[in-house]
Structure 1
Amino acid sequence: MNTSTSTPRCPYRLDGAGTNIHAEAAALRARGAATPAELPGGLTAWTVTHPDLIRRLLTHRDVSKDAHQHWPAYINGEVPSDWPLRVWVDVRNALTAYGSEHTRLRRPLAAAFSPRRVRLLRPQIKAITQALLDDLNATGPDEIVDLRARFAWRLPLLVVNALLGVPEELHDGFRVSIGGLFDTSLTAEEAGAAYSEAYRLLNVLVETKTKEPGDDVTSALIAGHSSGTLSRQELLDSLMLVIGAGHETTVNLLDHAVTNLLTHSAQRALVVSGQASWEQVVEETLRHQAPIANIILRFAARDILDEPTGLTFRAGDAIVINFAAAGRDPEVHGATAADFDVARPTAGEHLAFGHGPHFCPGAPLARLEAVTALPMLFETFPELDLAVEQDVLQPQPSFISNGHQTLPVLLRTSSNS
């Protein structure tokens, strides 16, 4: 898209590899509440960093997520077919819908993550966590374990697969292909391959559950398709949204919660002693390390003048919401906003799960998984420690997903020493 006259500065080039999300967020914040940015692939958009402006835009009636209606560059064929981020605007689900269409597509997802269904998952979450811990407990005392691979990503994957009724033989395939959609450092060819594989697996899942329906979200969505409520594409894309969002956010939440506690001994002591709760750990982690650093894309359906900032978003302007920047805004969290502090009184004032009509319906499940799994992990392995220096940990190659590539630890339990 072309930068409009409302975006006068040279665009800030976003790092698709996500090399240092928080340094980038600080640089963007210094340019104002919102600033023009160049996305991977050369397209431009506003990137919004100020929490108040984010809230106003996320609840504004003239801010859309539907590129098919409100992004002229997309409608006019100016977005290349091989743009590596195209899947994020091509899909037809609640993530990309506007107005009544969003209400229609969100309704079955809200039912999937209803309070009752989430409560019923608690015993499964505990059982899955215990099985993963039992597996880790067989590790030798000096063996380095990748806790992200063996715990942080396996737990939410198994939980969301239980929610959806995904057969075990599809588990790893979904993890790899959906993970590829979050990797914003991929070439167009690599991104296209991940996209194609994800849809192949989704079609296999739908065919399997059509033949053998169960009491699961996939079967419920298939019933919606059969009744005419959802098109075939909307069915597949809704499943992709549940798998992707239900997995990636919780993986990174667990990853960063563990990392922060292992690198902040005083904070860990507060939690282990009971002076701070695991709920506080979860909320401060969500603030300090938003699991989804940036979410793309939204569009101005009409010209929007934001009175408090004086910024004008022209009709058709694309918008990126920077949750990582919002979580560390010093106006909200003070001069220590970059520090991890489980006792922080403003910890809950984050936007990690979004805001307004697009607030993540899976937020209660992510929180439940974290407050269940984290205490079980630290009770089982009270001497848990990083196996490398913190600065050795490498970020995921993404400006969307905020997590580590690996999380090498030493378990150091008395049972295996």
Structure 2
Amino acid sequence: MNRTRTPAPAPSLPDGAGAPEWDEGLECWVVADPRLARQVLNHPGFASGTFARSFQLYMSEASREEYRALTDFLRLWFVQTDAPEHTALRRPVQRIMSASYVRSLAPRVEEIVDACLDDLAAARPHDVMPTVADGISGKVMAHVVGVDEEPAVLHRWSRALSLFIGAMYRRDHAERAHTAMEEMAEALSRASAPAAFPRDTPLDRARTTATWAMNLFGGLETTASLLGSVVLTALGDRAVWDAIRAEREGAAEALVETVLVARPPLRHLGRVVAYDQEVAGSLLKEGDLVLVSLTGDGLLAEEDGPAAPPAGCPVTGAGADTAAGSGRPEQHLVFGHGPHYCVGAPLARLEAAVLLRRFAKRFPDARLTGEAAVWGPNLSYVGLDHLYVDLGV
């Protein structure tokens, strides 16, 4: 855990906001109100090293020892650090994933989407998840990171890790995640993007591998979930589908934002209380886990409460409506808030918007089949296992 030398004042509870609540079953605090959540995610009193604390709480001593390589690997993910370490580790990744770089990827993303739609047309039955959602997210991340593995392999790794993160007490999850980590590290040792990062010392090499494993993981599972959900939502609403088919300006981008708020791929983020503090009459003790809801009440308006999703550039957000009188865009919490805001958010938005437009152009008469959606079992990462469609051709 990263400790703050001088404790900052505890977050203040906005008028009418819900206070943190202790969940006996999860043995942690839950922050559900988005106004308080925004403060917690940007407050030095709440540290990011949740994996280390979770290993202590949810893994046996024997399991921690047996899978020490796995737990050490996950501790090195820079999302598990705070400033100044987090700032230094994040900066080079943020430069690579800049808005200009993501814009430059648009033609390649379109090629990948078209190839995956070819795969969907050839598949029987027409299941969007393995061919399109997994295919697009996997091929895009393989291109970005510079690995040769197929999407099915990349997603096998990411799902093994996500299952372990969601249920660390299960030894079978730990075993599969450990295998995935070893295979991922070997692939990354040959990848092009990590080659430009520090490798001088064993710690440099371990941190570089962990950083790119985290980037690869982040661009697979949650993005595939988003891609499946936007297709499900579009085909389930005729008016929305008609607007996308008609190539109405901003229709695809608006739907992406709607889905992000209504069905976020990740439901919550974790934090660890860095020092004893009182929030709204509740005493939060150093070391307590905190789950911060990313769903809350949806979009966070500065003045008037939840508002309609903004339509704008899927990469930069330019053109989005702003809160009345504030001059700032509405902001939801799905990609986090503050210094830990997701560096891959522009790329995920781009992939989803491109998919909607190309799907509608290729299969304008597509529709959902009966019992089309089969949801996965993971409670932390919300996504479909299958999405069956009739392509109408």
Q: TM-score range by the shorter chain?
A: 0.7 to 0.9
Contact 1:283 1:348 in 2 (8 A): no
Once residues 279 and 350 of structure 1 are traced to their aligned partners in structure 2, the CA distance between those partners, rounded to angstroms, is 15
How far off is 1:33 after superposition? Answer: 4.0
How far off is 1:231 after superposition? Answer: 2.7
Correspondence for 1:264 among 226, 237, 245 = 237
Output aligned runs, 1:52-71, within 5 Å. Answer: 52-67=35-50, 71=53
Once residues 362 and 199 of structure 1 are traced to their aligned partners in structure 2, the CA distance between those partners, rounded to angstroms, is 21
Correspondence for 1:409 among 385, 389, 393 = 389
Output aligned runs, 1:225-240, within 5 Å. Answer: 225-226=199-200, 228=201, 231-240=204-213
Contact 2:51 2:75 in 1 (8 A): no
Q: Tell me the residue number matched to 2:252.
A: 278
Once residues 131 and 78 of structure 1 are traced to their aligned partners in structure 2, the CA distance between those partners, rounded to angstroms, is 42
Contact 1:48 1:319 in 2 (8 A): yes
Matched, 1:175 2:158: no
What secondary structure is seen at the aligned counterpart in 2 of 1:382?
Answer: coil
Which letter maps to 1:198?
A
Matched, 1:105 2:89: yes
Matched, 1:255 2:228: yes
Q: Normalising to structure 2: TM-score of the pair?
A: 0.79
Correspondence for 2:291 among 317, 320, 329 = 320
Q: Tell me the residue number matched to 1:398.
A: 378
Deviation track 1:184-243 (CA, whole Å, cap 9, x = no partner) reads 36871221122212221123123324xxxxxx422223xx123x5963332222122111
Contact 1:66 1:299 in 2 (8 A): yes
Correspondence for 1:92 among 52, 76, 81 = 76
What secondary structure is seen at the aligned counterpart in 2 of 1:298?
Answer: strand
Q: Tell me the residue number matched to 2:137.
A: 156
Once residues 266 and 125 of structure 1 are traced to their aligned partners in structure 2, the CA distance between those partners, rounded to angstroms, is 26
Q: Tell me the residue number matched to 1:199.
A: 181
Correspondence for 2:30 among 47, 71, 83 = 47
How far off is 1:36 after superposition? Answer: 2.0
Correspondence for 1:37 among 3, 14, 23 = 23
Which letter maps to 1:395?
W
Change (3 A) 1:303 1:149: same
Structure 1 unmatched ranges of 5 or more? 1-30, 210-215
Once residues 254 and 333 of structure 1 are traced to their aligned partners in structure 2, the CA distance between those partners, rounded to angstroms, is 24
Deviation track 1:260-307 (CA, whole Å, cap 9, x = no partner) reads 111122232233332752111111111111111122x3111112333x
What secondary structure is seen at the aligned counterpart in 2 of 1:231?
Answer: helix
Contact 1:300 1:314 in 2 (8 A): yes
Contact 1:206 1:218 in 2 (8 A): yes
Contact 2:109 2:140 in 1 (8 A): yes
Q: Tell me the residue number matched to 1:115.
A: 99
Q: After the TM superposition, which parts of structure 1 deviate over 6 Å for at least 4 consecutive aligned residues?
A: 328-331, 340-347
Once residues 53 and 89 of structure 1 are traced to their aligned partners in structure 2, the CA distance between those partners, rounded to angstroms, is 31
How far off is 1:161 after superposition? Answer: 0.8
Change (3 A) 1:257 1:46: same
Q: Which has the higher contact order (CA 8 A, sep 6+)?
A: 1
Correspondence for 1:377 among 339, 344, 359 = 359
Contact 2:73 2:210 in 1 (8 A): no
What secondary structure is seen at the aligned counterpart in 2 of 1:407?
Answer: strand
Q: Normalising to structure 1: TM-score of the pair?
A: 0.75
Q: After alignment, is 52-61 or 105-114 more displaced?
A: 105-114
Matched, 1:293 2:264: no
Change (3 A) 1:244 1:284: same
Q: Tell me the residue number matched to 1:25.
A: none
Output aligned runs, 1:17-36, within 5 Å. Answer: 32-36=18-22
Change (3 A) 1:250 1:348: farther
Q: Tell me the residue number matched to 2:315.
A: none
Correspondence for 2:331 among 335, 346, 349 = 349
Once residues 239 and 245 of structure 1 are traced to their aligned partners in structure 2, the CA distance between those partners, rounded to angstroms, is 10
Structure 2 unmatched ranges of 5 or more? 1-16, 313-319, 324-328
Once residues 103 and 149 of structure 1 are traced to their aligned partners in structure 2, the CA distance between those partners, rounded to angstroms, is 35
Once residues 289 and 161 of structure 2 are traced to their aligned partners in structure 1, the CA distance between those partners, rounded to angstroms, is 20
Once residues 100 and 202 of structure 2 are traced to their aligned partners in structure 1, the CA distance between those partners, rounded to angstroms, is 23
Once residues 341 and 409 of structure 1 are traced to their aligned partners in structure 2, the CA distance between those partners, rounded to angstroms, is 28
Q: After alignment, is 360-369 or 200-209 more displaced?
A: 200-209
Contact 2:133 2:228 in 1 (8 A): yes
Q: Tell me the residue number matched to 1:13.
A: none
Contact 1:87 1:195 in 2 (8 A): no
Contact 1:289 1:327 in 2 (8 A): no
Contact 2:47 2:274 in 1 (8 A): yes
The alignment's C-alpha RMSD in Å is 3.4
What secondary structure is seen at the aligned counterpart in 2 of 1:386?
Answer: strand
Q: Tell me the residue number matched to 2:196.
A: 220
Which letter maps to 2:121?
N
Change (3 A) 1:362 1:88: farther
What secondary structure is seen at the aligned counterpart in 1 of 2:228?
Answer: helix
